Chains A and B, each alone.
Chain A
Amino acid sequence: MTVGNLKPTVPSPQKSSHFLPQYQWGLVIIAVNIVLLLILRAYCPRELYPWAFGLLFGFVLQRSRFCFAAAFRDVFLIRNTVLTRAVILGLLVASLGFLLLDFLAPGVELISTMGKVHPVGVFTAIGAFMFGVGMVIAGGCASGMLMRMGEGYLMQWVAMIGFLVGSVFGAWHLGWWMDSFISEAPVVYLPNLLGVQGAAVLNFGVLGLLFILALAYESGWKTFSVGVRNASGFIKANPKANPKANPKANPKANPAHTSGEKAAPGGLYRTFLKKPWPYYVGGVLLAVLNVALFALWGIPWSITSGITYFSGWLSSLAGFSPQEWAFFQEEIFWEGHCVLFDYYRSYYMRFPLVYHFMAIIIGAFIAALLAGEYRIRKWRSGRFVVSAILGGLLMGYGARIAL
């Protein structure tokens, strides 16, 4: 049985026709970025953390194949919750980290003043719904789109065009949403309602419950209850257990990447730079990076606002007047300047998170090069282009109105 129209690719002994192997290109780009970070530290300190952490986020995303879209989508499409649980684990670690920061700096209104505590209402649900549909048909959420752009997927470059256009419309229409819904909506910040301890208990309780539900849903309720009884020692053997299914029990089961790494150093390289990292490692690392970025810079991980400012810059170039749109009226964390570029940069390009989303693409690009798996990948058919553009539009617009 053959599905699809192409013949299997035959591995060619001549692996690399480039004059430098991919991982060496990766090292060159790392060196360039180190120099760039030193320049930023000296002249543009405001852009240092967004760029440095963008590279790290992109690297971790690519290495662990972390995909927020799959975390929500695969629950329904293939009844698989492995990424869902990794996301929940990441949220647990991040909650713990933010709680720790609150504990280390008591009385300082760290979180409520970072510009991320927004009103909540029907627009949150509408925006989230649009974003959810968008990320599935675009083949990745905002971070997944950036990561795949770095890996060379043309489909996600097209999705980015849709995302930029959607952001423009979202930022433009935000005034209408503000007047109709947002200005009336309550701002709910749980620590103000329940106290920090109460909010923490609720937060960990809900995340823990979701984790267990995800596990139970994937294995089916019957298997899950058997598993729980097994774990608590009531029944010794699970009749469904399959020794071959466990890659550890069967060393033959997962000799991943049998070719490919021949041209490059082995051992540590294979473990950390070639083989994908487990999802939960990705979830934990992203959470740690998020907390670290917030502790060092005062702004947590944020992608869509940077893309929206970039889209604002593009629309001002195209002759529109985004300075009149509601979204660009806010002026947050504007202090500090960059002696190298500020004279040449417009208002929109001075928004530091513009460089953050760009650095995520570069970070993923570096990770893909080091693994020797970068490739310009074309979409399979025109349908994918349409779905990328539509998905991008929905995500860009949804992200703006959900705030």
Chain B
Amino acid sequence: MENFIDALGEMCPIPIIKAEKVLKKLNAGEKVVLETDHSCSIQSVTGHFEKKHGCVCTVTEVEEGIWQIEIEKI
């Protein structure tokens, strides 16, 4: 996994801002994985990047209450 953001223990909107920063440097087709335990993120992060940036997001619950959100830049 080349682009990984560890946002455990951080509240909104820090995960979104961190992911926006990384995504800006990526080329189309590249991905970033954001790991978070903030339950709102699986709604707010995916919504933000799909609707506003046109990315494709995939959410995986890797443990109870911890999610990895894969964001693909289009």
Contacts and interface: CB of A to CB of B under 8 A. Distances in A.
Contacts of B44: 65, 67, 70, 74, 80, 83
B73 to A, nearest CB: 11
Interface string A193-230: 00000000000000000000000001000000000000
Contact of B64 (A5, A15, A378): A15
Specify which of B17, B35, B37 lies most central, judged by the most chain A CB atoms within 10 Å of its CB. Answer: B37
Interface of B: 1-13, 16-18, 20-22, 25, 32-33, 35, 37-40, 42-44, 46-48, 50-66, 68, 74
Interface of A: 1-12, 15-16, 22, 62, 65, 67, 70, 73-74, 77-80, 82-83, 139-140, 151-152, 155, 218, 242, 244-245, 247, 250, 252-260, 276, 279, 368, 372-375, 377-381, 384
B3 A250 contact: no
B40 A65 contact: yes
8 contacts: A3-B4, A4-B6, A9-B62, A65-B43, A67-B44, A258-B58, A375-B64, A384-B11
B22 A245 contact: no
B56 A253 contact: yes
Contact of A4 (B7, B16, B65): B7
A288 B44 CA distance: 23
A254 B5 CA distance: 20
Given A8-B33, A257-B42, 7 more contacts: A1-B32, A3-B18, A80-B44, A139-B12, A257-B61, A375-B63, A377-B65
A255 B57 CA distance: 8
A377 B64 contact: no
Given A77-B13, A242-B54, A377-B65, A256 B47 contact: no
A65 B39 contact: yes
Contacts of B53: 245
A380 B46 contact: no
A253 to B, nearest CB: 5
Nearest to A140: B11
A379 B40 contact: no
A373 B61 contact: yes
A2 B10 CA distance: 16
Nearest to A364: B39
A258 B60 contact: yes
A153 B64 CA distance: 14
Contacts of A379: 9
B63 A11 contact: yes
Nearest to B57: A254
A155 B43 contact: no
A152 B43 CA distance: 18
Contacts of B9: 155, 377-381, 384
